[in-house]
Amino acid sequence: MASLLVWWALVTLVLLLASVAADRPVTLLGCGASAVLLIAVGEAANGLRQRLRIRRVR
């Protein structure tokens, strides 16, 4: 669980820095919510990939 928290913090920081660099300021809350969505989709896709790999091996 701690690794997801660190992952979330890093993704939030990257999104915040990207918004500042693009001169489109976004709130920290908005970046945090976007980071949660990105991580949730990534984790779901990783879980699906692993399940499909297990089925192919059998």
DSSP class per residue in 31-58: HHHHHHHHHHHHHHHHHHHHHHHHHHH-
Domain hosting residue 44, numbered range: 2-57
Q: Total structural domains in the chain?
A: 1
Give tens-digit pLDDT for 4-45.
Answer: 889 899 999 999 999 999 999 889 999 999 999 999 999 999
Give tens-digit pLDDT for 9-18.
Answer: 999 999 999 9
pTM across the whole model? 0.77
Please enumerate in sequence order all residues whose Cβ is within 8 A of that of 39, keeping only pairs 6 or more positions apart, or say none.
4, 7, 8, 11
Please enumerate in sequence order all residues whose Cβ is within 8 A of that of 12, keeping only pairs 6 or more positions apart, or say none.
28, 31, 32, 34, 35
